[in-house]
A = this chain, B = another copy of it.
Amino acid sequence: MLILLDKVTSGKDFKELARYLDNRGIEFFVWKDGMNRFVGMAGTLPQEDLERFPFIERVIEDYPPEIERLAEKRIEIKGRTISRDSFTVIAGPCTIDSREELYRTATALKELGIDFLRGGAYKLRSSPHSYQGIGKEGLLYMKEICTELDLVSVSEIISIEDLPLMLEYIDILTVGTRNMQNYRLLSALGETSKPVILKRGMACSIKEWVLASEYIARGGNKQIILCERGIRTFENSTRNTLDISAVPIVKKMTPYPVIIDPSHSSGRRELIKPLAWAAAGAGADGLIIECHHRPDRAKCDAQQKIDITQLKEILEKLPQITQLWSKKF
């Protein structure tokens, strides 16, 4: 349920409502659109309860057009824009192997017209005995290569302690699926001025994901990109189950660009093309794809990486789909 508060609602009144919802275990979030303040909640209040709060101006059923009036966010970075009017492709290796390998992949992507280079320096792995990433060295490579080739760098922050370092070296910070509910980290990112890609927690509902974005936004940083990367289900033909329906739903509930990660959701190279095209069909605003100039030599997750030729094939025909949604690409 979405409710619109009276423009003159006091902080005290709002706190009363917040306490009331909290006591009932109802999760909620708040949106401001100019003078308008909306409260969205997971659940419906009975009429009698609503009447207890005279400052509720009206109930807006089922997240309708009103929330779409919220100014859609445009993220500007190094002369590029990520927004709902365009289709953004972020590509690169999940893990940085070496400076040379990264450089080769980066130049090949640049030639394909891609502006955003992803590369992981730190890795969160289920087993402590698995490869944990190249570390700080990788951040340095990202910075040097992205400066030289005029690319925007994208990399995952895995712990709040790394924030100063990440801010110095990386242009767009990714919060991975295991950290979506690391609220201290999200709050800290809300104090920065860097764009943040917030991946969905693999067992988090859409509502929890949207609420998590509020931890960033309330600090003042609204340069948020939401990334659907698959949820955990009983199906094990794929690494996760890509929840493609999340794209149109989250675009209704928030003003942020929504992108898809077909690599982690499927874990299978041969599914990248159909899932990338499906994402575009669903109206997604972009993709983040694992790509490597020689996937079979990659240190990690080789089976879900595509090579440059495969990426080229995917991208060539994408505009036919993205233009259905009036997107530049």
Contact = CB atoms under 8 A, between A and B. Distances in A.
B324 A211 contact: no
Interface residues of A, number: 86
Given A231-B233, A232-B234, A241-B241, A124 B181 contact: yes
Contacts of A237: 205-207, 245-246, 249
Given A179-B182, A265-B245, A281-B281, A235 B205 contact: yes
B235 A22 contact: no
A124 B303 CA distance: 35
Nearest to A185: B159
B211 A128 contact: yes
Given A233-B241, A241-B233, A203 B206 contact: no
A317 B130 CA distance: 44
B126 A25 contact: no
A174 interface: no
Contact of A274 (B30, B161, B235, B282): B282
Contact of A203 (B184, B203, B244, B277): B203
A23, A30, A235, A246: which has the most chain B beta carbons within 10 Å?
Answer: A235
B271 A245 contact: yes
A131 interface: yes
B274 A248 contact: yes
A47 B51 CA distance: 12
A214 interface: yes
Interface string A1-45: 000000000000000001100110101111000000000000010
Nearest to A319: B320
A22 B236 contact: no
Contacts of A303: 25
Contacts of A75: none
A27 B126 contact: yes
Contacts of A109: none
8 closest Cβ pairs, A-B complex = A203-B203, A281-B281, A277-B281, A278-B282, A178-B181, A278-B281, A159-B184, A248-B274
